[in-house]
Amino acid sequence: MDLKITDAVVAKFKDKDSAKPRFRKLYEERPFLEAYAEHTNLRVKDNPKGAIGREDEWETHGKLQLEFMIKEGLRPHHTLLDVGCGVGRAARRFVPYLEAANYVGIDISQGALDYAIQLAADEGWEQKGPVFLINSDLAGLEDHGPFNFIWAHSVMTHLPSQQVEVMIKNAATLLAENGRFAFTYKPGDKPKRTGLKQFAFDSAYLIALGEKAGLKGEAIPQQWPAGQRTIRLTKR
Ligand SMILES: C[S@@+](CC[C@H](N)C(=O)[O-])C[C@H]1O[C@@H](n2cnc3c(N)ncnc32)[C@H](O)[C@@H]1O
């Protein structure tokens, strides 16, 4: 996927941030992931509870994610890797539910992780031993795994195809036997960029990436408030 930012490319974008010079500049001047990490840092500084989703969903969305993962089979004794955990909107639900030391959250934004770590202390769930790490592609996490579940809510929606492919490949090596990697995506007729950090994919493409990594893939009916769809990849 070509990630060059030009006027013609931006003219077709539908996101609000591409009209804001301080955000657009990041993607013009830096490699994609570095730009995106700084984008998140800036948004966390502006408004932490509105930086990674709608502020009015702060209380409800993490709960929704926990309920979904319980439906997927998550139980307190399982290990969970929360990819793109952001400021801890879902961690504050997952961590109290899981047994101690069973949660790892990763993100590319140090600002987001710092907020999540502080939130854990303020809300009293740090004693359950959540681990928060900077990581962009799931590489080098073997010492923290294997994981029964890997979950990425609203992350593939923000990544180009080359990143998505690496993440799925590395997830396959981190999953325990019969482990599941579930993630949301924005549906489109083919892989395409629709904003500075907005991307759409078709389910067949994502399932094929899973199969290439040795995982059984399926689209599942769960939908999310912002219209995202869900894919489940299972280690056979
Ligand atoms: C829209 S937010 C969703 C946050 C969280 N999953 C939730 O739903 O509450 C996306 C998050 O993913 C992070 N992110 C994006 N690309 C990532 C990558 N390659 N690896 C790890 N985190 C990433 C962003 O920094 C941001 O915090």
Give the chain's domains with CATH numbers: 7-235 (3.40.50.150)
Distance 86 CA to ligand 1 centre (A): 5
- Number of Cβ within 10 Å of residue 201's Cβ equals 23
Compute the distance between CA of residue 192 and CA of residue 198 in angstroms, rounded to an integer. 9
Q: Whose CA is nearest to atom 8 of ligand 1?
A: 153
End-to-end CA separation in angstroms for the chain:
30
Residues 6+ away with beta carbon under 8 Å from 73: 149, 180
pLDDT band at residue 26 using 50, 70 and 90 as cut-offs: very high
User: pLDDT (tens digit, 9 = 90+) per residue, 50-82?
Assistant: 999 999 999 999 999 999 999 999 999 999 999
The confidence score (pLDDT) of residue 223 equals 86
172, 209 contact by CB (below 8 A): no
Atom in ligand 1 nearest the alpha carbon of residue 37: 25
Atom in ligand 1 nearest the alpha carbon of residue 157: 1
Q: Whose CA is nearest to atom 14 of ligand 1?
A: 84
Distance 38 CA to ligand 1 centre (A): 12
153, 120 contact by CB (below 8 A): no
Chain position carrying tokens 């926990």: 66
